[in-house]
Amino acid sequence: MPAHSILVAVPADIRTIGNHRWHAAPETYLKAIVRVAGAIPVIVPALSEELDIAEILSRVDGVLVTGSVTNVHPSRYGAEPTAAHEPYDLDRDALTEAMIKGAIARDVPLLAICRGLQEMNVALGGSLATEIQDIEGRMDHRAVDDPEQGVRYAIRQKVTAEGGSKLNRILGKQEFQVNSLHRQAIDRLAEGLTVEALAPDGTIEAVSVDGARGFALGVQWHPEYWAESDADSAAIFSAFGEACRAFRKSRATAR
């Protein structure tokens, strides 16, 4: 299979710049898809009511759900909106729920990062906790206040993978360091998800989909940022890319 012949769908965020609404995705994720997973990212606009999501999923070989500055709207998991839950992106919420559920149903390889992991949990019926740094016994998982992105995204937090988990097998180890930057986290774990890794304070840092025949992993940290220089981050994107290539091959064989 030629290099970069596989396609990975990336759900877009809505951004308002000047007088225009933009459908966009962060460059760090796109570069990691191209340079480490060896795939072509395709940004899917957050126009879920006007798109045939099933048709899109029939044409791609993987789905990557990015992190974002916005949060899943609390009404999607039965909570009352407060200032602590903001900001929102309702158009993205609708798109990612459809794409996550559709990818899982069709065994399309799925990698969900940060907000993406939270969206995966909510899409399958789980809930989120907000401002977890204010909860007794929890660590402060937020990024440090520094103008330099490399400092903000520095790898500084220990995570422990469950023995024998998919993540354990990908990385070949149980303990490793990550750049986990967030103020929300999984509260009630959705049925159909298995915990893959935990932070020292018990925060769920990674999950996988029960019974998934292919790659279906969510991580709370940001492997995309150091995917070209950190071995563990690269391993996640490489495994995702390999899963996408295997999915393309299996689908072609079935036709």
**Residue 222 designated active-site:** yes
Greatest Cα-to-Cα distance within the chain, rounded to the nearest angstrom: 54
Residue 241 CA to residue 157 CA, distance in Å, equals 25
**Residue 114 designated active-site:** yes
Residue among 73, 85, 114, 119 flagged as catalytic = 114
Residue 30 CA to residue 37 CA, distance in Å, equals 10
124: which strand partners?
Answer: none
Cα separation values, 190 from 19, 80, 233, Å: 39, 19, 25
Cα separation values, 178 from 98, 141, 206, 220, Å: 29, 11, 11, 9
Token code pair at residue 190: 């959705």
Q: Would you please indicate which residues are annotated as catalytic (active-site) residues? A: 114, 222, 224
